[in-house]
Structure 1
Amino acid sequence: MQVVIDGITYVSHEEPAWRGEEHYMAMVDLAQFDLPGMREQIWLREIDKAGEYEVCCIPFYAYGMALGDVVSKGESDTVGPSIRKSGRRALRVLFTAPRPLADSRLSLRRALDSVGLMSEWNGDRQVAIDVPDMSVMQPVVDAIQSEIQAKTAFWEWSDSKHYDPS
């Protein structure tokens, strides 16, 4: 979900992949990823009292982090530097509007279910997919391949850029 407050667009995760009883939320300023005026709210779970937090959502816009990564929390409830990677990746797909007759969103949902991958949707055109194991990705790629070729959907890996909170 996205909401604009005082000219800043805040992106939140309505259904984080690992929703639990006690979570913290911290912001990522997306200006470093060429998205000025945008912030993404990341769900975190404290894993120890030494200030380590586990990422519990699949980032829609923030680069350099994935579900299960361990990060620190910075000042003013921001996501701090990465402490260690989980080994997971996040694949993000954006479907353009208007939608073509051969809309692959339903096929993608079925493919994700068939291989047991978690995903989070931001509206009905953007999805972030948790990829713990690349070996199961072929049905997912097959589901969206025709739209990728037709340029009615675009994909990227969240680890294609580094996250630097400074």
Structure 2
Amino acid sequence: MSAASEQFSTHSEPIWRERADFIINAQLSEVGGFEQLWVRRVGEDQFEVCCIPYFLYNVALGDTIETAPQGGRQYVLSRVLNPSGRFVFRAYFERPHYRYRDATAVGVQRLGAQIEWSSPSLLAVDVDGPSAQRVADYLQDQEDAGRLVYETGKSA
């Protein structure tokens, strides 16, 4: 695979930017797809995630992860060593529903969540364990009202 055919999703405003001191890559399920994660180095090949994953599953803000060389890259996510106990949700807004974006962002933040925008259409949401169900219920209500589509950051 050539570098020209690779696609990288980046975080322009990572939620814990002040903690981060490194950027690693995480391979996505689509061929040539990577998400660049802002992280804080805690060991030779171990890092704390300092952003809310946009596309990765089973990785959350605050997780301690391990990297390994892969495909010519030195630091590629290989596994989660210590889950933070935080939850990730993603809300997708189709263009006709952009008018609901700001209210949704404010709504989840009022419930204790933190957010990062990937694009005008995709909102990544981080929340601690005790608040996760309230945020999930809120996002489900918004989806039921036809304002967005949401998912959790956990795979089955």
TM range (shorter): 0.7 to 0.9
1:117 counterpart = 2:113: yes
Tell me, in whole angstroms, the C-alpha distance in 2 between the residues paired with 1:109 and 1:138: 14
Q: Which runs of 4+ in 1 moved over 3 A?
A: 134-144
Deviations 1:99-139 (A, max 9, x none): 148x3212112213323321100111101100113436536
Q: Determine if the alignment matches structure 1 residue 105 to structure 2 residue 70.
A: no
Task: Say if 1:10 and 1:38, in contact at 8 Å, map to a contact too.
Answer: yes
Q: Of 29, 43, 62, which residue of structure 1 is paired with 2:56?
A: 62
Give yes or no for the alignment of 1:157 onto 2:155. Answer: no
Q: Which residue of 1 aligns with 2:18?
A: 20
For 2:25, give the aligned amino acid: M
Pair 123,133 (structure 1): closer, same or farther in 2 beyond 3 Å: same
Number of aligned pairs? 150
- Root mean square deviation, CA, Å: 2.4
Unpaired runs of at least 5, structure 2 = none
Q: How far apart, in 2, do the equivalents of 1:106 and 1:137 lie?
A: 21
- TM (norm. structure 2) is 0.82
- Distance in 2 (CA, whole Å) between partners of 1:149 and 1:156 is 13
1:134-165 C-alpha deviation (Å, 9 max, x unpaired):
4365367436624x23655211111125xxxx
SS of the equivalent of 1:78 reads: strand
TM-score by length of 1: 0.78
Assess if the C-alpha contact under 8 Å between 1:16 and 1:120 holds in 2. Answer: yes
> What is the CA–CA distance in structure 1 between the aligned matches of 2:111 and 2:37, rounded to whole Å?
25
CA deviation vs aligned residue, 1:15-63 (integer Å, no higher than 9, x gap): 11111265111111112xxx2231100111012x353210111100011
